[in-house]
Amino acid sequence: MGKEVKLSLVFRDMWQSAGKYQPRVDQLVKVAPAIVRMGCFDRVETNGGGFEQVNLLYGENPNNAVRQWTKPFHEAGIQTHMLDRALNGLRMSPCAKDLRKLFYKVKKAQGTDITRIFCGLNDPRNVIPSIGYAHEAGMIAQASLCITHSPVHTVEYYLGLAKQFIDAGADEIALKDMAGIGRPVSLGKIVKGIKELKPDIIVQYHSHAGPGFCMASILEVCQNGCDYVDVGMSPLSWGTGHADVIAVQEMLKDAGFTVKDINMEAYMEARTIIQEMLDDFLGYYCPALNRENNSLLIKPGLPGGMMGSLMTDLEDNLASLNKWKVKNGQESLTTDQLLIKLFDEVAYVWPKVGYPTLVTPFSQYVKNLSLMNVIQMEKGKGRWEIFPDTIWDMVLGKAGKLPAEVDDEIKALAASQGREFLQADPQLNYPDCLDGFREKMKEKGWETGPDDEELFEYAMHPEQYENFRSGKAKAEFEADLAKRKAAKEAPAAGQMPKQITVQLEGKAYRIDISYDGKAPEPSAASAAPASGAGEDIVAPLSGKFFLTKDPQETARKVGDAVKRGDTLCYIEAMKIQNAVCADFDGVITAITHSSGDSIEEDDVIMKIARS
C-alpha cells in the first residue's frame, strides 16, 4: 500500500468561487449527512472568510449557521476547518488585537477545529500572532504560504516562510494556491523542502482549477509528501472552483497512493441537493463564465475565490460604463472586452504596487485599482485617478510589508499627496475595540451572545450586522433576488415588466428593471431633485452609499463646514470603501441618500454651497 493521501471538501470555497452567496443554514444541514456518507473526506471546510459576511447580507445569523453546520461532521469524526485572514480576521480590513483573540475563542466554541491562517502579503508579523491565538483557544493552527508566480515568489522564498512558521509553532502548513497558477514542479519542490525541514509536519494543498495546472500540481505535491488535498465536487467543481473529488481520487489511486473510496450513492444525493440549492436562489449569483476553465487567468493570476464575486460585480460596472458610453456617443463594451482589458491592466498594475500575493483582500485591491484605471481610461482620463485609502494602506505598509519594492511612479504619487511609507508592526495601527462595541450593544439592548459570539460578529462586520439586525439586509437581498428572477423569467422583450413590487414583512418595495445593461429610467418617486442650494456632488462610481466607514466615525450632516480634501462620505464598490472628498471649501446643504442606499455613477449624493 502506498502513502495515504486524505481529502478535504472545501464546501465554503466551492460556493465563494462560484458566485456571491453561501447556502442557508437549512440547506447546509440538509446536505451534511450525504457528505458524511460519501465516506471519502477526513476534513470539510465549513466556514471562514466570506462565509459569515454573506450570511449577514441576506439576513441570516452566521453564528447559528456555523454551530449547526459543524455539528454533523464532529459527530462523524470529520475535522472542520475555516479560512482566516490573519490581521484581517474574517473581513477585508485589519482587526484590533482583542477582536482577533476573541475570533478564535468564538470559532472553537462554535465547532471549528482547524484555522487556516493566511496573510495576503505573506508577512510573518501578521501570521505568527494568530498561531498563538489559535493555540490559546485550543485550535489547530495551519499556517499558509500564499502561492503565486512572480520574480520574487521563488521556491527559496516560500521555504524561508515555512521555516519561520514552523519555528513559531505552526501545527500544519498549507500551500494556498488560490489562483491555481503555482507551477507544478516548483510546488513539488516546496513540499519536499518543507518535509525536509520537519518530516512529521502535516502539509495540505489547496488549488483552483481555472488556469489548468491543478491536476498536475496535485500529483506533484503528493509525490513529494503532501498529506491532504482540497477538492470540490460536481456541480461546482472545475472552472473557478476546484478539481473534482472523483478525478483526484482516481488519479491518486492510479499513482499508487492509498485514498478512501467514494460512496457513489451518497455522492449523487449530495450532488442533487447542491443542484437544488443552485435552482433555489444561489444560481442567480453564479455567472456562467465561472463554470469554465480559462488559461487567460494565468497572466493576471487572480484567485478563483475572487473570480466568483468579480463576475457578479462586473455586471454592475459594465452597465454603468456602457451607460456613460451611450450618453457620450461611444460604442458599448461586451463583458469579454472589459474582462480582457482588466486582465491586461492587472498585469501592468501588480508589479507597480510591489507584487502583493493575489489573495483576499489584496487581490481585490489590485483588481479594483486596475478596474478603476480601465474605466477612467475608457472615459479619456488617466490612471490612478481613483486610488482608495484602503489600497494606499496596502501600498504604504499599513497592513504589512510588500514582497517587492513599490515602483517609482507610485512613490511619486504618494509623495505628491503627502503620504508616508510605514515600517512598524501593522497591528500597532489598529487599537483594541471590543469595549466600545460592548457599550454600543448595551445601549441598543443587544445581548453579546454565548461565548460573546454576537459581540464578535458586530465588531467584525459592523455595518452588515446592523443591517442584519434591522432587517434591511434581508429586504435588500430579497428585492435583488426578485429582480434577478424577473429578468430571467420575463417573456418576449415587448412584454418584459419595467417594474415589480415585492412584499417583505408587510412592506412594499418597488424595483426598477433593466434588460439591456442600461440604467432604467427613474420613476417619479425616485427622481425627486436634491434639495438645498449649492453645487451638486456626484458619485464617481456605482455602489452603496455610506456616510461613515465604521461606527466610530462621525457622519457628515447638513450644515457642516468642509474644507477642500475633506472626506464627505464613502461609496462601497467591489468590497472597497471609496472615499468621496470635497473639491472646494463650503457648507453641506443637502444629503440626498441614506447609508446603505444603492447609487449609480453620476447620481447626486450631496450639495455644497461654496464659501
For 563-575, the pLDDT digits (tens) are 988 889 998 876 6
In terms of average pLDDT, the best of 271-275, 330-334, 593-597 is: 271-275
Whole-prediction pTM value? 0.80
Q: Which stretch of 193-202, 294-303, 500-509 has the lowest confidence by average pLDDT? A: 500-509
Provide the pLDDT confidence category of residue 522 given band limits of 50, 70 and 90: very low
Cell 490581521 appears where?
Answer: 87
C-alpha to C-alpha distance for 508 and 475, rounded to whole angstroms:
10
pLDDT confidence of residue 305: 56
What mean pLDDT do residues 507-535 have? Answer: 51
DSSP line for 417-463: TT-----S-GGGGS---HHHHHHHHHHHT----GGGHHHHHHHHSHH
C-alpha grid cell for residue 463?
Answer: 455595518
- Torsion over CA: 582, 587, 592, 593 (sign): positive
pLDDT confidence of residue 541: 79
What mean pLDDT do residues 323-339 have? Answer: 88
Q: Where in the chain is the domain with CATH 2.40.50.100?
A: 528-610
CB 131 within 8 A of CB 167: no
| Amino acid sitting at position 37 | R
Helix (H), strand (E) counts: the chain: 20, 18
Q: Mark out the alpha helices in 255-334 (DSSP H runs).
A: 264-280, 304-327
- On the question of pLDDT at 230 being above 50, the answer is yes
pLDDT confidence of residue 353: 95
CA nearest to 465, candidates 301, 607, 596: 596
Q: Where in the chain is the domain with CATH 3.20.20.70?
A: 6-287
Q: Which stretch of 96-105, 210-219, 361-370, 449-458 has the lowest confidence by average pLDDT? A: 361-370
- On the question of pLDDT at 172 being above 90, the answer is yes
CB 211 within 8 A of CB 299: no
What mean pLDDT do residues 420-427 have? Answer: 94
DSSP line for 535-572: EEEE-SS-EEEES-SSTTSPPP-TT-EE-TT-EEEEEE
C-alpha to C-alpha distance for 309 and 14, rounded to whole angstroms:
12
pLDDT confidence of residue 513: 57
Provide the pLDDT confidence category of residue 309 given band limits of 50, 70 and 90: low
Provide the pLDDT confidence category of residue 486 given band limits of 50, 70 and 90: confident
What mean pLDDT do residues 362-373 have? Answer: 87
pLDDT confidence of residue 524: 36
Total residue count of the chain as it appears in this document: 611
- On the question of pLDDT at 504 being above 70, the answer is no
Greater confidence, 503 or 225?
225
**Residues forming a β-bridge with 588:** 608
Provide the pLDDT confidence category of residue 78 given band limits of 50, 70 and 90: very high
pLDDT in tens, 109-134: 999 999 999 998 999 999 999 999 99
Q: Which stretch of 73-87, 310-324, 398-412, 526-540 has the lowest confidence by average pLDDT? A: 526-540
Mean pLDDT over each residue of the chain, to the nearest integer: 89
CB 433 within 8 A of CB 98: yes
**Residues forming a β-bridge with 606:** 537, 591
pLDDT confidence of residue 340: 87
Provide the pLDDT confidence category of residue 294 given band limits of 50, 70 and 90: confident
Q: Mark out the alpha helices in 330-380 (DSSP H runs).
A: 335-352, 362-378
C-alpha to C-alpha distance for 439 and 230, rounded to whole angstroms:
41
Return the number of other C-beta atoms located less than 10 Å from residue 72's C-beta. Answer: 19
What mean pLDDT do residues 289-307 have? Answer: 71
CB 552 within 8 A of CB 581: no
In terms of average pLDDT, the best of 255-259, 366-370, 372-376, 580-584 is: 255-259
- Domain 6-287 listed as CATH 3.40.605.10: no
- On the question of pLDDT at 370 being above 80, the answer is yes
CB 66 within 8 A of CB 32: no
* 94-103: burial string, b at 16+ Cβ within 10 Å, e else: bbbbebbbbb
Q: Three-state SS for 163?
A: helix
C-alpha to C-alpha distance for 333 and 321, rounded to whole angstroms:
8
CB 125 within 8 A of CB 427: yes
* Domain range 528-610, its CATH number among 2.160.10.10, 3.50.50.60, 3.40.640.10, 2.40.50.100: 2.40.50.100
pLDDT in tens, 21-61: 899 999 999 999 999 999 999 999 999 988 888 889 888 99
Q: Which stretch of 143-157, 216-230, 492-506 has the lowest confidence by average pLDDT? A: 492-506
CB 399 within 8 A of CB 121: yes
DSSP line for 185-239: HHHHHHHHHHHHH-TTSEEEEEE-STTS-HHHHHHHHHHTT--EEEEB-TTSBST
CB 531 within 8 A of CB 552: no
What mean pLDDT do residues 223-238 have? Answer: 97
pLDDT confidence of residue 525: 35
CB 5 within 8 A of CB 257: yes
The CA-atom distances, in angstroms, between 207 and each of 93, 148, 427 are 24, 11, 29
pLDDT confidence of residue 186: 98
- On the question of pLDDT at 526 being above 50, the answer is no
Q: Quote the percentage of the chain above a pLDDT of 70.
A: 90
What mean pLDDT do residues 336-359 have? Answer: 89
DSSP line for 60-100: --HHHHHHHHHHHHHHTT-EEEEEE-GGGTTSSS---HHHH
Greater confidence, 204 or 341?
204
Provide the pLDDT confidence category of residue 488 given band limits of 50, 70 and 90: confident
The set of residues, in sequence order, having a beta carbon less than 8 Å from that of 438 and lying 6+ positions away, is 448, 455
3-state secondary structure labels for all residues of 469-492? HHCHHHHHHHHHHHHHHHHHHCCC
Cell 503532501 appears where?
Answer: 226
